[in-house]
Amino acid sequence: MDTLSYKTVHANKQTVQHKWYVIDAEGEIVGRLCTKIATILRGKNKPSYTPHADAGDFVIVLNADKVRFTGQKMQDKVYRHYTGYPGGQKTYTAQELMARKPNDIVERAVKGMLPKNRLGRSMIKKLFIYTGAEHPHQAQKPEVLG
């Protein structure tokens, strides 16, 4: 009797190969762009995806200041954070945040799509966001992602 033995392969730090991707965010809708980014950071685009391991790739986002919202979200969407002091709740509309820190819009959206634990905190460190069309990661030979 011929017995075949198949073994489930789980990704870990030693076996995973991290690639680098570049995404041009110019004219992209924030939510749709960030779901693509979160999928790549988690490694769900790979056949070797393992939920408990960081098998994702590095992502470089260019032109983050040129993303767009649909409908009236630019005026209506509210971002909040709390400073830790009494009366220290700060609120900004998407338009105000885009003027002050355009990278924060993409970063907050992606961070909200990742796990809320130490694995998610290690995944967000593989995201690099830039407002211009240039980035300092040419040595990693990143692939352009459409």
pLDDT of residue 10: 87
Q: Which of 25, 22, 52, 56 is nearest to 40 (CA)?
A: 56
| Stated pTM of the model | 0.91
Domain 20-68+101-145 is found in CATH 2.40.50.140: no
DSSP category for residue 3? -
Walk along the chain (146 residues) and give the pLDDT tens digit of each residue: 566 778 888 888 899 999 999 999 999 999 999 999 999 999 999 998 999 999 999 999 999 999 999 999 999 999 999 999 999 999 999 999 999 999 999 999 999 999 999 999 999 999 999 999 999 999 999 999 97
Q: For tokens 């924060």, what's the residue? A: 104
Tokens of 99: 């003027």
pLDDT of residue 2: 61
pLDDT of residue 1: 54
Q: What gap in Å lies between CA 13 and CA 142, rounded to an integer?
A: 20
* CB 124, CB 114: distance < 8 Å: yes
